[in-house]
């Protein structure tokens, strides 16, 4: 990589962005240039980025816990605010990282001081509003579940992200994605179906409950594990033994609260938000588990 240190850094951002795409022959060369162990493999990519951790911001920032929705609309709106046409999938990590690199390179090249300050403000807003608000826990999960090549990819991207956050002024208010996120529903008030959907929406529960974790839940609780979409798997676990499943989920939420607190130095109130969500989820899950253990008066599976 050539050019100024800032330009070289943005080239690295772009190279890492490319590796969030389905791998082809050219991706092996990128991984080699980055000195990542192994090489991107289509089967590994499918398992990690299709089945476990799809690289779309809306999945983790949307109250629905699904692709698209208001979270994707907010990301697309920011593209338009920057005077750019949003791509078909504006919240895919590849294009989000590439846009940050483009904004960072645009800033020092702008000769007019006012426009340069505006470009810097746009770069900082994109960093905090749309990247810092979900990438630290997402990358941590990739490092936990991914094969060596993608674990190293996530570690390198995490290092770059933390470096950018340290050199960028921290905003005084939470990103809109987090301010707009509804809390985890109480099944005794809003129903079991809403509760299950909320558990699977990280921004509501504070927990990244991927397929691998639900399989682990079945192993650790001794319950049967069905293959299928996450909602069906979680409903099946709750139907078999609600108290045991809720207790497992409480422990998982408390573990995530501790994880989120580790990012407080880097992201401040953002980490505080995620930790608070996980702690609130743990408290609700404990109450529900205790009630189920006494008497299953309040079902937590759809009837």
**Per-residue confidence band for 8, with pLDDT thresholds at 50, 70 and 90:** low
pLDDT in tens, 260-298: 999 999 999 999 999 999 999 999 999 999 999 887 655
- What is the percentage of the chain residues whose pLDDT exceeds 70? 92
Q: What is the mean pLDDT of residues 38-67?
A: 96
pLDDT on residue 1: 40
What predicted TM-score, i.e. pTM, was given to this entire model?
0.92
Query: Both tokens of residue 214?
Result: 């639900």
pLDDT on residue 125: 93
pLDDT on residue 288: 97
Q: What is the CA angle 156-161-164, rounded to 5? A: 130
pLDDT on residue 169: 83
pLDDT on residue 7: 63
Q: What is the mean pLDDT of residues 172-195?
A: 96
**Per-residue confidence band for 302, with pLDDT thresholds at 50, 70 and 90:** low
Q: What is the CA angle 3-6-11, rounded to 5? A: 70
What b-and-e string marks burial along 6-26, b requiring 16 or more CB atoms within 10 Å of the CB?
A: ebebbbbbbbbbbbbbebeee
pLDDT on residue 5: 46
* Cβ neighbour number for residue 37 with a 10 Å cutoff: 12
Looking up tokens 């060596």 gives: 148
Q: Is the pLDDT of residue 303 over 80?
A: no
pLDDT on residue 44: 97
Q: Is the pLDDT of residue 179 over 90?
A: yes
Least confident of 42-46, 102-106, 135-139, 177-181: 102-106
What's the CATH architecture for 5-178?
Answer: Orthogonal Bundle (1.10)
For the chain, the domains span 5-178, 183-294
Rounded CA separation 108/119 (Å)? 9
Which CA distances in Å does 109 have to 1, 8, 83, 116, 117?
Answer: 19, 15, 17, 8, 11
pLDDT in tens, 104-115: 888 767 777 766
**Per-residue confidence band for 224, with pLDDT thresholds at 50, 70 and 90:** confident
Which CA distances in Å does 278 have to 202, 259, 284?
Answer: 9, 10, 10
pLDDT on residue 299: 63
How high does pLDDT run on average in the chain?
A: 92
Q: In terms of Cα–Cα distance, which of 67, 105, 61, 106 is closest to 88?
A: 67
pLDDT in tens, 252-263: 999 999 999 999
Q: Is the pLDDT of residue 6 over 70?
A: no
**Per-residue confidence band for 144, with pLDDT thresholds at 50, 70 and 90:** very high
């Amino acid at each position: 990589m050539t050019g100024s240190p800032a330009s070289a850094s943005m080239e690295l951002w772009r190279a890492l962005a490319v590796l969030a795409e389905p791998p082809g022959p050219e991706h092996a060369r990128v991984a080699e240039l980055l000195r990542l162990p192994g090489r991107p493999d289509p089967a590994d990519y499918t398992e990690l980025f299709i089945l476990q951790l799809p690289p779309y911001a809306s999945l983790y920032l949307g109250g629905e816990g699904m692709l698209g929705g208001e979270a994707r609309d907010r990301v697309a709106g920011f593209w338009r605010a920057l005077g750019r046409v949003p791509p078909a999938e504006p919240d895919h990590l590849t294009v989000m990282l590439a846009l940050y690199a483009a904004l960072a390179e645009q800033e020092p090249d702008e000769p007019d001081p006012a426009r340069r300050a505006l470009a810097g403000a746009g770069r900082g807003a994109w960093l905090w509003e749309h990247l810092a608000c979900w990438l630290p826990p997402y990358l941590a999960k990739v490092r936990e579940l991914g094969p060596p090549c993608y674990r190293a990819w996530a570690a390198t991207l995490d290092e770059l992200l933390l470096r950018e956050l340290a050199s960028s002024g921290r905003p005084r208010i939470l990103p809109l994605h987090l301010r707009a996120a509804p809390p985890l529903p109480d099944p005794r008030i809003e129903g079991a179906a809403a509760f299950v959907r909320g558990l699977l929406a990280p921004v509501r529960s504070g927990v990244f409950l991927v397929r691998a974790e639900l399989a682990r839940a079945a192993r650790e609780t001794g319950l049967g594990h069905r293959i299928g979409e996450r909602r069906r798997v979680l409903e099946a676990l709750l139907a078999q033994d609600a108290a045991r499943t809720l207790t497992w989920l409480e422990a998982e939420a408390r573990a995530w609260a501790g994880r989120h607190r580790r990012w407080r130095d880097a992201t401040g109130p953002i980490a505080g938000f995620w930790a608070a969500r996980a702690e609130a989820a743990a408290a609700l899950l404990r109450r529900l588990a205790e009630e189920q253990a006494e008497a299953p008066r309040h079902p937590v599976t759809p009837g």
